[in-house]
Amino acid sequence: MKKTVVVPSYFTDVKKSKDRIIYDHPTDVNGPETLSRLLESFTILKDKNFDIVIIGVPDDPVISSIVEKRVETIIKPFKADYKIIHLSVSLLKKLQERFEQLGFSDMAKQVNLRGYANVRNICILIPHLLGSDVAILIDDDEIFTDVDFIRKATEFIGEKWQGQEVWGKVGYYVYGGPKDYNLPEEKEWWKVFWGKAKKMNEAFKILDSGQRLVPAKWGFGGNMVIHRKIFENVAFDPHITRGEDIDYMLNARTCGFQFFLDTELYIKHQPPKSTPKTFLDVMNVDIFRFTYQREKLKNFNISADTLLPYPGIFLQEDLEARILLTALLLEIDKDLNRLDRIKSIQDLINYAKNLKTSLPSALEYAKKHAHTYGSFQKNWVKFMQGIKEDTMLKKMIEEGS
């Protein structure tokens, strides 16, 4: 089984990045990075029979060349021990030109490094062109602590588990030992109707089920194993703004592929210190994410109840109510902490209205784009089949890197 481990690494330049895509915690091109730490952790793995693909992702096209040089500098010391392919913006441009020559001009434009879903599509495209059977997706802010990670990742893939074919798996993040996977739960009283971390921890209880594999309702893109059988037929949705990992599992489900959660497949998540995002910033992203996924569920004719407790709780018809109530309670909390200003109920309602300004936009966005995935997925299948045997593309990747 040919395996490719794919690692997207996101970068920014605090002085030059203007037209930026917002990523969780991109590396400053002039600051400390986490990619070398991850590459060093590869040494503990027993199974080293795999290729490594590093995707250098600039948050703004203007810093593409700077990112390319930075990534090359980081990975150079490790090339003596591993076969490392660097998928840079300049190499991607060459691939896009070849896609056009093969008659896939539209896909050449859509296959890009702008946004999480598009980056994830590159994560499965490159293993496809290299002839890999399995793509193992991880992130650069993680560390291998399990020497058997690769063996576990590929175990059961392409086989049957309790009568069901296993073509895709997800693992989970730990923050200390193998059982340290719970997130800090919300303590603020005004988050009573939101409580995302609490719902995620409820979903994590399945990890103590005693079963090795269970049908997955959630997953992390930084610990995902995808067989060729899936990535040749299922694409990440370019219109999903966040939560592209769970969304991908839903896409696969509609194409007849069930992802499984492997209760032994863990990787340590150790993100760098960064400026913490406000709750309002995070919630604004979630508003777009959940409204979009809810609309897709309707199109797929999938009940949100099948995804309880998480993410299903945020994909039900009461999503708008949860958003508005959380906004209102937040503003009440703010007002209680402003002893010098006492607001009327109408003022508090106005605060809530200000917070929810993104909700109409999110609903409109979902209605406009959620139905487009079907046609994109069909084009993806044709695209993947059309480029599959092109030796020039494979040569460009292996030599151009």
At 107-154, the pLDDT tens digits run 999 999 999 999 999 999 999 999 999 999 999 999 999 999 999 999
Arithmetic mean of pLDDT, 43-65: 95
At 146-193, the pLDDT tens digits run 999 999 999 999 999 999 999 999 999 999 888 999 998 888 888 888
Long-range contacts of 196-200 (CB under 8 A, 24+ apart): 196/286, 196/310, 196/314, 199/309, 199/310, 199/313, 199/314, 200/310
Residue found by looking up tokens 């030599």 in the block: 399
Task: Specify the amino acid at residue 314.
Answer: F
Burial class (CB within 10 angstroms; exposed 0-12, middle 13-18, buried 19+) of 264: middle
Residues with Cβ within 8 Å of 335's Cβ and at least 6 positions away in sequence, in order, are 341, 342, 343, 347, 348
At 271-326, the pLDDT tens digits run 887 665 666 666 778 889 999 999 999 999 999 999 999 999 999 999 999 888 88
**Pairing status of strand 168-174 against strand 259-269:** parallel
Q: Does residue 3 contact residue 137 with C-beta atoms inside 8 Å?
A: no
Helix (H, G, I), strand (E, B) or coil at 260: strand
Cα–Cα distance for residue pair 263/172, rounded to 1 Å: 8
pLDDT at 382 over 60: yes
Q: What is the pTM of this model?
A: 0.92
Rounded to 5 degrees, what are φ and ψ at 276? Answer: -65, 140
Residue found by looking up tokens 């709780």 in the block: 313
pLDDT at 394 over 60: yes
- The per-residue pLDDT for 193 is 87
Cα–Cα distance for residue pair 60/81, rounded to 1 Å: 32
- The per-residue pLDDT for 329 is 81
- The per-residue pLDDT for 339 is 43
Percent over 70 (pLDDT), the chain: 91
241, two tokens? 């703004």
Question: Omega before 127 cis (within 30°)?
Answer: no
- The per-residue pLDDT for 327 is 77
Residues with Cβ within 8 Å of 157's Cβ and at least 6 positions away in sequence, in order, are 1, 134, 166, 167, 169, 225, 227
234, two tokens? 């299922």
Residue found by looking up tokens 């069930």 in the block: 258
- The per-residue pLDDT for 340 is 43
Residues with Cβ within 8 Å of 372's Cβ and at least 6 positions away in sequence, in order, are 239
Give DSSP secondary structure letters for 79-129: TTTS-EEEE-HHHHHHHHHHHHHTT-HHHHHHSSSSSHHHHHHHHHHHHHH
Nearest to 120 by CA among 6, 291, 285, 5: 6
- The per-residue pLDDT for 205 is 95
- The per-residue pLDDT for 323 is 85
